[in-house]
Amino acid sequence: MKKILGLGNALTDILLQVSDDDLRELQLPKGSMNLIDLETARSIQSRFAHIRKTMVAGGSAANTINAIAALGGKSAFIGKIGLDEIGEFYREDLIKNGAYPMLLQSNMMSGCCTVFITPDGERTFATYLGAAADLKPEDIQRDAFRGYDIFHIEGYMVQNHELIKKAIEMAYEENMTISIDLASYNVVNDNREFLSSLIEKYVDIVFANEDESYAYTHLSAEESVEKISRQSQIAVVKVGKKGSYIMSNDVREHIGAITSACLDSTGAGDLYAAGFLYGMSEGLDIRRCAEIGTLAAGRVVEVVGTKLTEETWEEIRRLCALYRGFHRMMEL
């Protein structure tokens, strides 16, 4: 089994179910990711103090790494936390999930992400990065990459060009398979040229949803997956209830979505990436990888937040075991 290393913002998610009017009053575009300062973060917390909250350790890459561990994979996460209660909660959550924490520490407050969930299940992010943004290029050391085979980065990190370039170059020099999730259409819009140069030179696997792929290519999902696959080895474009398109070596496949009662789409893309990368770590073909990702994503939208029950993980692990057995039988 191959080992997977993730790099991302160590953020604790605060999940709130709100109305569309709440978003308009906050002037937050639905479905977007917005960076906010400490004052704004405190203002949001005060405004919604009366609403029931769910708090979970999160961050896009960490969600993926935790889910890989839950599937039975070997995974670790690089991030930065504060010397505070939230930071310790974050570290303990990684350990509890079976992922190895490579967490640096900062004097800043640990980062948090308020996730506004509207009645249609769409999520909008207001992110105070805090200690997560204090992760510097000099914090990235080559020893962290040794012994790992796949390097997964969340797209939210690409706004720090120097940091992400150093990390990707180290992974590339260690002959790791490099994976990136484009994360958010507005992040893609702001960093399109930089992203393109990274993908063309270093990246093997690109994950994007329909909005992100359009921001990157200005093409439809089916056309986008083809264009992105010419820059990387494997392209995945997720199209919500329509499933996903995958393309590699000029072969394009469509994977249908599973039937789900969507309550909250938070983490759907992260868990799709987890299932896909876990499948790759087991040597499965890309269609099987995508089917595992589809199942994980379909199950997480049925709950608020990104945490699945052990019974649900067991269901997904049973499917993985079937695929592994089929794969080994075909090799005989």
More confident residue, 202 or 40: 202
pLDDT digits (tens, 9 = 90+) for 91-121: 999 999 999 999 999 999 899 888 899 998 8
Of the ranges 115-119, 177-181, 258-262, 303-307, the best mean pLDDT one: 177-181
pLDDT of residue 322: 81
On the 0-12 / 13-18 / 19+ scale of CB atoms within 10 A, 73 is buried
Mean pLDDT of all residues belonging to the chain: 91
- Polymer length in residues for the chain: 332
pLDDT digits (tens, 9 = 90+) for 130-139: 999 999 999 9
Q: Where are the alpha helices (DSSP H) in the chain?
A: 20-26, 38-47, 60-70, 85-97, 161-173, 185-190, 192-201, 210-217, 221-231, 268-281, 286-300, 310-331
pLDDT over threshold 90, residue 321 = no
Confidence of residue 305 (pLDDT cuts 50, 70, 90): low
Domain boundaries, the chain: 3-331
pLDDT digits (tens, 9 = 90+) for 286-302: 999 999 999 999 888 87
Q: Distance between CA 273 and CA 215 in Å, rounded?
A: 20
Q: Among residues of the chain, what percentage have pLDDT more than 90?
A: 65
Confidence of residue 214 (pLDDT cuts 50, 70, 90): very high
Q: CB neighbours of 52 closer than 8 A, spacing ≥ 6?
A: 17
pLDDT of residue 168: 97
Tell me the backbone φ, ψ of residue 52, rounded to 5 degrees: -65, 135
Do residues 320 and 279 lie in contact, with contact meaning Cβ atoms separated by under 8 Å? yes
pLDDT over threshold 60, residue 332 = no
pLDDT over threshold 70, residue 35 = yes
Q: Which CATH number fits domain 3-331: 3.30.70.3340, 3.50.50.60, 3.40.1190.20, 1.10.150.120?
A: 3.40.1190.20
Q: Distance between CA 6 and CA 268 in Å, rounded?
A: 17
Residue listed under structure tokens 């919604």? 48
